[in-house]
Amino acid sequence: MDRTTIEDQGVRLRPLRRTDAADVVAACSDPLTQRFLPLLPRPYTESDALWWIEEGAEAEWRQGGGVWAIADPDTDRLLGTVGLHRVVRERAQAEVGYWVGPWARGRGVATAATVALAAHAFAHGFARLELLTELENVASQRVALAAGFQREAVRRGVAPDRDGARTDLLAFARLAGDPPGPVVRWLPDLPGGELSDGVVTLRPLLPGDEDFLYTLLNQPDVVATSVPAVAPDRREIALRCARSQAHWLAGDRADLVILDTATGRPTGDIGLYYQERNTGQAMIGYAMLPEWRGRGFPTRAVQLVALWSFAETSIARLTAGTNPQNAGSQRVLEKAGFQREGYHRSRLPGANGRRIDDVSFAMVAADLLSRATS
């Protein structure tokens, strides 16, 4: 690659300079940067920045890639960096990497820089660009999707951390022939970040919900109706909270917390599992803490999820299953507008190697519409 300055997408990509060192130090000393770049020196000094500008970045150029400063086109101040790394010449392939300083985040800088660099790379003979990011790094995943990189796989144990452990990374890729624009999301963000009917509010499951979710999913009756019927441990719960947004962005699952709107307290959870995207069919499941049962919260939550699903996604049919003995859950679905469709013998794995029956319910958009107009 050449060292051409690229002016595109409202940003300037230019070679790094010694005068960028102070901004590099500030960005690389930021806790968020260090969290997702764990091998950075700590503390990160001016000497580290100058070495990287004069030697580390130079090595990328010699290997056929390159590192550009993302600069403000008006002031030329460094906002972050973007680069092409791990070039595989025989495959015309490289890996895109970036970081943005805390003073420039939330402005679409990383997305703009990635789009601009990808166009430049494809114009200079590259055929495939990869982008790797942690499952917990939601902001980076949003950048990848917005820049037109499609999620491909989870690569296990790819990245070492400071303690010698190995971290899984998500792999995204963009080909030279891919259509322009962002990747279409199967499950978009909630409007305003939440759903509410004034009594219950649904928001995405997030890091920080671990204690609540552990308590909920370890209720004996919740464990008994889970698949598999095994109580999750705290590590499993922590991963679920940390990676819930990655599943949402992938379009395969939306995990939501049911809140009491009046107090803001978490009362239960509801999940949407989009496992049949080719047929437009998804499944829901829910659970409530014992002290919040009997107030109609699950019915309201199911209706909110159904309305959002039919209005904002390509989902055409929602399904749900219950244990034949779980009359309470069946009443929730019927009140929400689901219709009973069948009885499936030994459909699900239960505790101690046993199989359990399942009563199936379903709702289509017309069911919700008919209830609204009746």
State pLDDT tens for residues 48-91: 999 999 999 999 999 999 999 999 999 999 999 999 999 999 99
Sign of the CA dihedral 232, 233, 237, 240?
negative
Q: Are 141 and 249 in contact (CB under 8 A)?
A: yes
Structure-model confidence comparison of residues 348 and 16, the more confident one:
16
| 295: confidence class by pLDDT, cuts 50, 70, 90 | very high
- Structure confidence by residue, pLDDT tens digits, 144-174: 999 999 999 999 998 887 777 888 999 999 9
User: SS3 breakdown of the chain: % helix, strand, coil, rounded to 5?
Assistant: 35, 35, 30
Reduced to 3 states, what is the DSSP secondary structure of residue 373?
helix
Position 369 pLDDT exceeds 80: no
Reduced to 3 states, what is the DSSP secondary structure of residue 105?
coil
Reduced to 3 states, what is the DSSP secondary structure of residue 117?
helix
| 193: confidence class by pLDDT, cuts 50, 70, 90 | very high
Quote the pLDDT of residue 163.
75
Quote the pLDDT of residue 224.
83
- Structure confidence by residue, pLDDT tens digits, 221-251: 898 888 877 899 999 999 999 999 999 999 9
Cα-based angle 62, 66, 72 (whole degrees, multiple of 5): 145
Q: How far apart are CA 227 and CA 217, in angstroms?
A: 11
Average of per-residue pLDDT across 308-317: 96
Percent of the chain at pLDDT exceeding 70: 99
Contacts of 208 by beta carbon, 8 Å cutoff, 6+ apart: 241
Is the peptide bond between 204 and the residue preceding it cis, with omega within 30 degrees of 0?
Answer: no
Give phi and psi for 363, each to the nearest 5. Answer: -140, 140
- Alpha-carbon Rg of the chain, whole angstroms? 24
Position 374 pLDDT exceeds 90: no
DSSP category for residue 188: P
Q: Are 137 and 14 in contact (CB under 8 A)?
A: no
Quote the pLDDT of residue 373.
54
Average of per-residue pLDDT values in the chain:
94
Strand 266-276, strand 253-260: pairing = antiparallel
Position 114 pLDDT exceeds 90: yes
Q: How far apart are CA 220 and CA 242, in angstroms?
A: 24
Q: How far apart are CA 366 and CA 42, in angstroms?
A: 58
As given in the structure block, the two tokens for residue 35 are 């969290």
Quote the pLDDT of residue 350.
79
| 354: confidence class by pLDDT, cuts 50, 70, 90 | confident
| 371: confidence class by pLDDT, cuts 50, 70, 90 | low
Average of per-residue pLDDT across 120-128: 97
Q: How far apart are CA 352 and CA 16, in angstroms?
A: 61
Give phi and psi for 196, each to the nearest 5. Answer: -155, 145
As given in the structure block, the two tokens for residue 171 are 């792999």
Average of per-residue pLDDT across 353-362: 91
pTM of the model: 0.92
Helix locations, the chain, DSSP H: 21-28, 31-36, 46-51, 57-62, 109-123, 138-146, 210-217, 220-224, 234-250, 297-312, 327-336, 365-373
Structure-model confidence comparison of residues 354 and 258, the more confident one:
258
As given in the structure block, the two tokens for residue 189 are 């963000």
Q: How far apart are CA 99 and CA 216, in angstroms?
A: 37
Quote the pLDDT of residue 372.
59
Percent of the chain at pLDDT exceeding 90: 84
Average of per-residue pLDDT across 300-319: 97
314: left (phi over 0), alpha (psi -120 to 50) or beta: alpha
Q: Are 217 and 240 in contact (CB under 8 A)?
A: no
